[in-house]
């Protein structure tokens, strides 16, 4: 297997929702294995849609996604991907505890009855320990602070022990201290060989921990190392609110910029 097939390859994805809203148009990008990659763009720019397409929650109208050279379905079956959802996407009133949630990360390894074994318990305990949530493991998830909620779901992703971890807006509603803590964990995970993709609309923190950056506004506007990508020109293009008709043209310009 060629080394460049590792990581996430997105080829020419277009997604139109049933209400005819075009969320993504001809998006192609590459998330390099073993890096932290930031996905940056304005709200409504298609970040969540791209995430959902990579995870297989949304089927694109055209295009393909590969994870470590495998199709999305195969990647799901082999526990290659985990997903830390946005706070808004979780029902915080659901009667489950933190430990229950983290154990859900292990379901893919269990038999049909989902009876946890010794290894499952060990992984859950270790993940809870690493995010510093051991003392809160019996709390119902709605009783946690914003930062604790994020850490609980990050622990679930860690317990799943998947090669690729996607985090959708992990720093929304989180204080600076927790943000630092999560960033530290992400860097540790990267150093252990995980591939991490983080979506955010908060530009300030990107350059502090993202090795690579992808700029997205309905299509990929730029991608590469953070130092190369974070130019004023690229950012104003991404957040400038451009009409869709100009996107294909801009797309080719941004490609030239890197070739």
Residues that bind other proteins (CB under 8 A): 18-19, 52, 55-57, 73, 76-79, 81-83, 85, 89-91, 94-97, 100, 104-105, 107-108, 112-114, 140, 142-143, 156, 160
CB 5 within 8 A of CB 68: yes
CB 24 within 8 A of CB 46: yes
> The tokens 């310009």 sit on which residue?
253
**Residue 115 C-beta: closest distance to other proteins, Å:** 9
The whole-angstrom separation of Cα 10 and Cα 1 is 18
37: β partners: 197, 212
**Residue 57 C-beta: closest distance to other proteins, Å:** 5
Q: E strand or H helix at 233, and its extent?
A: helix 232-239
**Residue 165 C-beta: closest distance to other proteins, Å:** 11
**Residue 49 C-beta: closest distance to other proteins, Å:** 13
Q: E strand or H helix at 165, and its extent?
A: strand 164-168
Q: E strand or H helix at 190, and its extent?
A: helix 176-191
Q: Is 70 helix (H, G, I), strand (E, B) or coil?
A: strand
**Residue 76 C-beta: closest distance to other proteins, Å:** 4
Write down the H helix ranges in 90-145: 98-104, 118-131
Nearer to other proteins, 72 or 221 (CB): 72
- Burial call 92-116: b when 16+ CB within 10 Å, e when fewer: eeeeebbbbbbbbbbeebeeeeeee
Nearer to other proteins, 82 or 238 (CB): 82
**Residue 113 C-beta: closest distance to other proteins, Å:** 7
**Residue 109 C-beta: closest distance to other proteins, Å:** 9
Nearer to other proteins, 47 or 250 (CB): 47
The whole-angstrom separation of Cα 174 and Cα 180 is 10
Nearer to other proteins, 98 or 221 (CB): 98
Nearer to other proteins, 113 or 204 (CB): 113
Nearer to other proteins, 74 or 227 (CB): 74
> The tokens 């009409």 sit on which residue?
243
CB 214 within 8 A of CB 38: yes
Nearer to other proteins, 10 or 222 (CB): 10
């Amino acid at each position: 297997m060629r080394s460049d097939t590792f990581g996430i390859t997105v080829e020419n994805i277009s997604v139109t929702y049933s209400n005819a809203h075009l969320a993504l148009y001809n998006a192609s990008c590459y998330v390099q294995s073993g890096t932290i990659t930031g996905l940056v763009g304005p709200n409504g720019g298609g970040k969540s849609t791209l995430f959902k397409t990579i995870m297989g929650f949304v089927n694109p109208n055209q295009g393909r996604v590969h994870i470590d050279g495998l199709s999305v379905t195969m990647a799901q079956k082999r526990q290659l991907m985990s997903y830390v959802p946005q706070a808004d996407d979780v029902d915080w009133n659901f009667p489950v505890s933190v430990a229950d949630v983290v154990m859900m990360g292990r379901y893919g390894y269990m038999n049909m009855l989902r009876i946890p074994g010794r290894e499952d318990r060990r992984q859950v305990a270790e993940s809870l320990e690493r995010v510093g949530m051991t003392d809160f493991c019996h709390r119902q998830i709605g009783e946690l602070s914003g930062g604790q909620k994020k850490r609980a779901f990050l622990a679930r992703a860690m317990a799943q022990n998947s090669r690729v971890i996607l985090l959708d807006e992990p720093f929304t509603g989180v204080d600076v201290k927790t943000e630092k803590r999560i960033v530290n964990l992400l860097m540790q995970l990267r150093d252990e060989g995980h591939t991490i993709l983080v979506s955010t609309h908060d530009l300030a923190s990107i350059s502090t921990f993202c090795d690579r950056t992808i700029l997205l506004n309905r299509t990929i506007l730029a991608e590469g190392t953070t130092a190369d990508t974070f130019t004023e020109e690229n950012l104003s293009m991404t957040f400038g609110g451009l009409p869709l008709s100009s996107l294909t043209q801009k797309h080719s310009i941004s490609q030239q910029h890197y070739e």
